[in-house]
Chain A
Amino acid sequence: QSVLTQPPSVSGAPGQRVTISCTGSSSNIGAGYDVHWYQQLAGTAPKLLIYGNSNRPSGVPDRFSGSKSGTSASLAITGLQAEDEADYYCQSYDSSLSGWVFGGGTKLTVL
C-alpha cells in the first residue's frame, strides 16, 4: 500500500488529453511538500518529467504539465502520442516517515 495513491491505469486515444491523479495526506502533499513526476518507459530507468509541482526539465515537451491542490496533485498530458505509453510515478516527502515516498504508479495505454 503506497503512501501516495495513483490510479493503476489510464488510457486515451492519440491526440486526446489524459490526467493522472496522485492523492496524499496531511503529512505529505497536504503539508505543502512539492510533488514530482517520473516517466518510466518499458525496460528503462525512470526519467524526471515534472519537478516542484509544475516545472518541466529541459527537453520535456510542454504537452506535459503538473498541478497541485490540497492533498492531491495531477499530471496532465495533452496531444497524446504513442511514445507516451509508459508508467508514471508521483513522488513527495512525508514528514511522518521522514523520507521520500512514491505513488504506486499508473500505466498509461495509448489506444
Chain B
Amino acid sequence: AQSVTQLDSHVSVSEGTPVLLRCNYSSSYSPSLFWYVQHPNKGLQLLLKYTSAATLVKGINGFEAEFKKSETSFHLTKPSAHMSDAAEYFCVVTYTGTASKLTFGTGTRLQVTL
C-alpha cells in the first residue's frame, strides 16, 4: 500500500531564512512524487514533481526537492522564505504508470514571520 508521511504539521520560519518541509513515502512500487501548495481558500497548485530523470527536482517559486530512495524521502526546500510562501503544503504519492488515486500527506502549514 502506498502512503506518505509529512513529519511536521506546522513549520514557522523568518522571512529570508531557509525552508525545509519533510516528507517520507512508503510504496510497494516505484513512486511518483509531487508537492502541492494550497493558499487559503484557494485550489491546489503543483510546485514540482519527481520523475526518474533527476533526483533533484526544481519547481516554481524557488522551491526544490530531492528524491532519496535510500531514505524514502522527498523533502521540500527553499533557500530563502518569502511572506507569500505562507500556505499549506501537501506531499503526494502515486504509483507508476497506472491510473490510480493520489495519496496525500496530512499537510504542513508554513508560517513566515518578519
> Is A bound to B?
no
State the B residues within 8 Å of A (CB): none
